[in-house]
Amino acid sequence: MSDLYISIAVTSFFVSALLVYLVRSALVGRVRHARTEADGGSVFVNKTTMEMVYWIIDPMISFIAALRITPNMVTLGSLIPAAGAGVAIGCGWFGLGATLAVLAAFGDIIDGLLARKMGLSSDAGELVDAAVDRYSEMFFFGGLVYYYRDHDQVLFIVLAAIIGSFMVSYTTAKAEAMGVPAPRGAMRRGERGAYLMTGAAFTPLASALFARSPSLALREVPILLALSIVAVVANISVVQRLLAIATLLREREAAKRSASPFDDEAMATKPDVPVGMV
């Protein structure tokens, strides 16, 4: 029952925050933020929700900076609630797991804002942040794998979501490594997290509502729906991303060939020269 209370608390907080932000936006105007403007939101997670999160977090940044807490401390510290979220999910405490995952996600947002405010942005910091992001996501998925280990059909959906999530991140990293713009697409890490945390947060409510139902799918429909969306959309996004990257690479190769046709022709017609005459 305590997990249900935690679920009610965290969902009530976000619903209330969203309503307050919408009223504030209507009366004063939206809260513009560089990251939300650059990101632009997506079909599945809109810009209003992102603006609300930054609106909540922004007042904390100056306070944290005044405490001499460094961005790396925040980044590494977010691993603690992230690991706790995985353990909680694995034990079936979805409300607690969602709350801890939200705390970890806040830490992930705060570290970047704090780094820019303190002038401590660096490639090394981004490396640490990226590694912690991967661990945090895998902690959550690991909890789901453990919890659904005896439910083959659900486990298949979890594994499909893991594969799609990994490949979305991989295609972005591969595009950057090959020097082409990374396709934006759907189901980036923040979007995946939003779906999974929301699904987990509402699961105790569904379990209480359908407590007498023998159907697992009905009792845990929020998290199962979230997993299904992530699994399907992420893997579709992977295919779209790979096709987009392949197109960009072909265009780059064609541009290189068209830029130096005479060099290729000269190499093809150049007579062989004996080694001793070189």
Per-residue pLDDT of 184-209, as tens digits, reads: 777 888 889 989 999 999 999 999 99
CB 78 within 8 A of CB 86: no
| Annotated domain spans of the chain | 2-257
pLDDT tens per residue, range 77-130: 999 999 999 999 999 999 999 999 999 988 888 888 888 877 777 777 788 888
Give the per-residue pLDDT at 277. 45
H/E segment holding residue 213: none
Which token pair is 172? Answer: 């972005």
Give the per-residue pLDDT at 271. 55
Distances (CA, A) of 103 to 9, 161, 178, 261: 14, 22, 34, 57
The span from the CA of 226 to the CA of 161, in Å, is 10
pLDDT tens per residue, range 244-262: 999 888 888 888 888 765 5
Sign of the Cα pseudo-torsion (186, 190, 192, 198, in order): negative
Average pLDDT across the chain, whole number? 84
Task: Spell out the residues 6+ positions from residue 62 whose beta carbon is closer than 8 angstroms to its own.
Answer: 117
51-54-55-61 Cα dihedral, nearest 10 degrees: -160
pLDDT tens per residue, range 137-147: 999 999 999 99
The span from the CA of 175 to the CA of 184, in Å, is 11
Give the per-residue pLDDT at 158. 96
Which CATH number is 2-257 given? 1.20.120.1760
Measured in whole angstroms, the distance separating CA 41 from the mean position of its chain's CA atoms is 12
- Per-residue pLDDT, averaged over 16-33, amounts to 83
CB atoms within 10 A of CB 235: 18
CB atoms within 10 A of CB 208: 14
H/E segment holding residue 246: helix 221-259
CB 192 within 8 A of CB 93: no
